[in-house]
Chains A and B, each alone.
Chain A
Amino acid sequence: MSLEHCEKYTDSALRVGEVDRYPQRVAGEFIGEVVGNDWVNKEYKHLILKVHERALAAYAGQFFHLLCPTPDGAEVWMRRPMSVYRVDKAASQLEFLYKCEGRGTRGMGMLAKGDEFNIAGPLGKGFKLDPAWKNIVVLGRGVGLATLAPLSQLAAEKKVGVTAILSARNPDVVMSKDLFDSLGAKTLTVLDTDKTSDVANVEKIIEGLIKEKKADAFFTCGSSRLLKLMQQLGKKHGIPGQVAMEQIMVCGVGACYVCMRTFEIDGVKTLKRVCRDGPVFDMQTAVGW
């Protein structure tokens, strides 16, 4: 690479097929090639990237830090953290499911087949499955479902039974049901439009699963309200759980202390870095957002 290529910023990321200069590093900076970037409904898009093999080491709950193109001509200064939706090792592909909402994701929405996209990762601590757990309950809302999808893939590989409760505003924005179904999960959809997503109803569903011994552990993402419900049920029945948290980030590796959230451990409130200490945390320690 000559200096003519980096008049503005350095161009140090690894492309597909390039010699890896940092093979022993757990994370890296990669330039993925866009294979597809299609709408899944009115609000969400599904990005498929062909990436260097080192980027495929990502596991459920980990995230990449994305250098999004500008949607409006002005600079997008910071990367955007996004959890991995799916890792397809056979095809050397990473997938992201995202809502086109802010400047970063709107810029991302403009990516077309063949474009290059700079991503850094995999970063953070993801989900852990205890070998003692035979059946888990996954409860997600909105884009939180995208974070929980790879967990169901991991559970399927480990022959752990999954009940996935998918919460959404209306039937048009229920996502990933097909993916959860294809992984052998039992899926239940709850909606705002028919009030099945009310906390009382979701509580009833989960209490039923506990009675059926289908709830050895809880997992959630995307709703503070549903987190509180799972915490309360977890405490009542002694069921462990994990929550994936979100926060705006700058460095993504633990250096800058921008992405703080409040946690409570043994009655003492503290701040933790979502990027490095998480983004997946012990559910009972999370204070919500």
Chain B
Amino acid sequence: MVDLSVKIGDITMQNPVTPASGAFSWEYNDVIDLNRLGGLVAKTICREPRLGNPTPRMAETEAGIIQSIGLPGKGIEYFVDHIVPEYAKFKPPLIVSCSSDNISEFALLTEELARMPDVDVIEANISCPTRNLTGQNFAMHEDYTSDAVKAIKAKCAGKPLWVKLSPNAGDIVSIALAAEAAGADCLVIANTFLSLKIRTDNFRPALGNKFGGLVSPALKPIVLRMVYQVAKQVKIPIIGIGGVTKAEDVVEYMLAGASAVGIGYAGFRNPTALVQIIDDLERWCDERGIKKITELIGAVKDDDMEMDPLVAASHGV
């Protein structure tokens, strides 16, 4: 049977399947066994309580949903006292996503989280597209990314720092290199795509916050391309997030260079999807005689791609 375990720096995960932050909470334990997952990813926490964005927070489009939640939460104290203990009941490593629009606050929040023994990884969400009306965030620019990651890294107390990047930046490879140079231990690629829907019945934006983030299987080829490009340039591990709905999608992300994946939409559509994908992944590897899933990381066969078009067109596939 295949060994599905992967290592992200010092963190060992029993398989490469994790939920995406914001699309998951311990409450999914009502439906699936959380101990089966590669990791547990808590919804982004902010230091102060936040109500989040006005409703409606979700709208359907032709090719997926757009959503704008706005990082609601009861603040760090409630999180530490009530939410972390819920996650601590389960075995997979706890990855805590956190955010702020102010670097010193971000560092302070990181310090408070890193102090907790049950928190295994800090995931810096420097890329939420809907925390305010502009869609702006640190991950849109190398300099802001660098400043934020350096300040956060200094307060991680030795715990791994994963940095979640934005697909809305002009050149994600430059941002990735900036984050790596500033001390990121892993890159999470990517957050949602900044989007807009306007209702034709009343001429108003469909979401209360105007802009939303696109969540859809349609993101997979785009984010896969980003993961591929970044993986060629950085040395740290990558977690691919965008449009994973089945086991082969996990394989595809790993071939492109990801060490693990995050899943959002598929868990909304089928609440049991993550566990099913883990089962399918195991079978997929076993059927092909793959002994360790880590063999797949970066194993895309692309070194002979500069082909003569006439030669390529004479090939079977």
Contact = CB atoms under 8 A, between A and B. Distances in A.
B52 A10 contact: no
Contact of B23 (A65, A103, A118, A251): A251
B270 A13 contact: yes
Contact of B27 (A65, A67, A254): A254
Given A6-B246, A29-B270, A258-B69, A12 B28 contact: no
A270 B73 CA distance: 12
A255 B24 contact: yes
Secondary structure at the A interface, as helix, strand, loop or mixed, is loop
A129 B57 CA distance: 33
Given A251-B267, A255-B25, 4 more contacts: A6-B246, A25-B29, A27-B31, A74-B62
Given A9-B246, A271-B51, A253 B284 contact: no
Contacts of B51: 270-271
Interface of A: 3, 6-13, 22, 25-29, 65, 67, 74-79, 103, 118, 120, 123, 247-248, 250-258, 260, 270-271, 276
Contacts of B141: none
B277 A251 contact: no
Interface in B191-248: 216, 245-248
B273 A260 contact: no
Interface string B232-270: 000000000000011110000000000000000011111
A236 to B, nearest CB: 31
A120 B271 contact: yes
Contact of B268 (A26, A74, A250): A250
Contacts, number: 129
B55 interface: yes
Contacts of B69: 256-258
B58 A28 contact: no
Given A26-B30, A77-B60, A258-B57, A252 B67 contact: no
A25 B268 contact: no
A134 B291 CA distance: 65
B67 A253 contact: no
A7 to B, nearest CB: 7
Nearest to A120: B271
B2 interface: no
Contact of B57 (A6, A7, A260, A276): A260
A22 B31 contact: yes
Contacts of B27: 253-255, 276
Interface string B53-91: 001111011111101010010000000000000000000
A67 B269 contact: yes
Contact of A10 (B31, B58, B273): B273
